[in-house]
A and B are shown apart, each in its own frame.
Chain A
Amino acid sequence: MNITDNKKMTEVNPEINNQVVAFISAHTGIDEIDEHENIFESGLVNSLFAIELMTFIEKQFNIKVTIQDLSLDTFSTISKINEFVTAKMTSNV
């Protein structure tokens, strides 16, 4: 991990984490989710729930995910989703 990544990590908004975790918990019944857990690989987010999660992220944070933004890695953990949403919200301002 390089310095820029570290800097990004410190800027993430805990409120975004809470909202994403709350959404996933409400749909899966699982309360404790490690923010670095790969939510696709752990089976927490299947392809169907992934579509719901993407819909939630766009609506909740009022952002538009473009085709250029898409990669499995970008949305693979709560922490990475947070980084992405934070960056996207900042660039929208």
Chain B
Amino acid sequence: MISTKNIASLNTTLHRVFEDTAIEFPKKIAVSDAMGNTMTYGELLVRAKRLGSALRLRGAERNIPVGIVMERSVDMLVGILGILFSGAPYLPLDPSAPNSRNCRILSLAGANLLLTNESSATLELTEACVQVILEEAESEVNIGNSDLEYISNPDDLAYVIFTSGSTGDPKGVMIEHKSAINRLQWMKEEYDLVPEDVLIQKTPYIFDVSVWEIFLWYFGGASLFILEHGYEKFPQAIVSAVQENKVSFMHFIPSLLNVFLNYIGPPELESLSSLKYVFCSGESLGVTLAEKFYSLFTYENTRLVNFYGPTEATVDVTYFNVPSHDLGQNIPIGRSIANTGLHIIDGDEVLNEGDTGEIAISGINLAKGYINQPALTNQHFVYHTGIGKRIYKTGDLGTMTSDGLVYFYGRNDDQVKVRGIRIELGEIENLLLRHPNVKECAVVLDKKSENVVFIVAHIIVRENADLDEIKNYAKSSLPAYMTPNRYLEVTELPRLASGKIDRKQLRSSALIN
């Protein structure tokens, strides 16, 4: 089931849409942050194009990613738009991730430039990648911006976002401008984005939910508030940001929404009255949470929306506008967005309505593939003869009703979600196995409570090995959200009759320990 509309309007790029809007509303406030920095559309356009020129002079080109390492800030937004104006796709890197991981990602992506600012830490780069400091690039007086020619096309890459990969290295998902434009145009129309709207950017830019938080606002001439780095930990900061800036669109992963709703009482609810939509994605949205939401917010004023989609299909591919009544047993992930198809398959077979199988996606939102990994790309992005289209096989299980509503039923492999972040436990295992003193290992999740989940590594070490050294190695190689919280030295790993590691038994033994 594919809905098609606005194919013609997709023939553009993310930065071109920004420039068109900036020319229409040059004096309007585009972006602000908690430190009191504000910028108009006109000012942001000038800065972004200037930076774009400077990056192009340094060798930025179409389809070669330019890395960016910055804390969430107005500079970060200038940096991302600047990279796009240079013609290159942006590749966001986590400022708190170990140096070795960020360098590995830059090298896997074949990035030739890395944009930082004066407050970012310096990375020890290889010769193939040159560091550009935002302040220095912007201060060059001899660069004009009026004549910055557009070099990227709708088919060129807009961004490359890395997600966990089971082989031990993360994999870079390549998204084209036309896919991002489709996702954003659709959302703008479905939720009637208007110039009075305000969006809040609080998701780390290394996760693709941030894509609509970073770009959607200008599709409707609206504005953006950027939540200061670290303040997403404080419910008070979120409430205050919404109140002060009259935020109308906000995202939460369901587990975060749940604890946030537990925090808010009548005064906070009053402060949140500007919210029109709360969008959830990243995890299953439960009926209890939806009921809790509507026991606080009224449907007429603030609505709850459930999104679903993998990074490989540009942020989200299904949506369900959650009603306030008659929620049933499960909340569906909903129907496909514009120019996108959802299919339930079992290998080569397309399943019937009501059958459970693997969720496959077709249409314009599909990624170009994994950067510099043609074999992996061909494994996950395939031409399906039954559907007659190129599809992405998600590894998610689901079912579709006769009227096109899709329900999500979990995974068919070892991929897990920790607070909405997708993690391949195999990536952690394979990384540990690269350490000379790790003989065997198995990594499992230990769910202490609904909201506290630990990553536990069971390791068989070689003789005279120092576990602390292995811990330090993991810490210096993995981002914090993937680093094991606990290490257990074991002499053997439980195995099933098939020889596979018995993860179920490991999970229960983790509980005892």
Contact = CB atoms under 8 A, between A and B. Distances in A.
Interface of A: 27-29, 40, 43, 46-52, 54-55, 58, 65-67, 69-70, 72
Contact of B240 (A48, A49, A67): A67
B448 A51 contact: no
A55 B230 contact: no
B81 to A, nearest CB: 26
B409 interface: no
B263 interface: yes
A29 B419 CA distance: 18
B473 interface: no
Contacts, number: 64
Nearest to B481: A46
Contacts of A27: 448-449, 451-452
Contacts of B231: 70
Contacts of B452: 27-29, 46, 49
Interface in B206-239: 230-237
B263 A55 contact: yes
B236 A70 contact: yes
Contacts of A72: 230, 233
Given A54-B236, A70-B231, A48 B449 contact: no
A58 B236 CA distance: 11
Interface residues of B, number: 25
B152 interface: no
Nearest to B204: A47
Contacts of A67: 236-237, 240
Given A27-B448, A28-B452, A55 B235 contact: yes
B419 A70 contact: no
B116 to A, nearest CB: 22
A58 B255 CA distance: 20
Nearest to B235: A51
Nearest to B451: A48
A55 B259 contact: yes
A69 B234 CA distance: 11
Main secondary structure of the interface of A (DSSP, over half): helix
Q: Which are the 10 A-B pairs with shortest beta-carbon distances? A: A50-B233, A67-B240, A51-B259, A55-B263, A72-B230, A29-B448, A47-B233, A51-B235, A52-B259, A48-B451
A70 B451 contact: no
A70 B241 CA distance: 13
Contacts of A28: 448, 452, 454
B3 interface: no
A67 B262 CA distance: 18
B294 interface: no
Interface in B461-496: 480-481, 483, 485
Interface string B415-429: 000010000000000
By CB atoms of chain B within 10 A, which of A40, A52, A69 has the most? A52
B256 interface: yes
A48 B263 contact: no
Contacts of B233: 40, 47, 50-51, 54, 72
A46 B230 CA distance: 11
Contacts of A40: 233
Interface string B424-468: 000000000000000000000000110110100000000000000
Contacts of B256: 47-48, 51
21 contacts: A27-B451, A27-B452, A28-B452, A28-B454, A43-B480, A43-B483, A48-B256, A49-B451, A50-B233, A51-B262, A52-B262, A54-B233, A54-B235, A54-B236, A54-B263, A55-B259, A55-B262, A67-B236, A67-B237, A70-B234, A70-B236
B260 A51 contact: yes
Nearest to A41: B480
Nearest to B234: A70
A1 B231 CA distance: 26
Contacts of B234: 50-51, 54, 65, 70
B236 A66 contact: yes
Nearest to A42: B485
A60 to B, nearest CB: 13
Interface in B390-422: 419
A40 B234 CA distance: 12
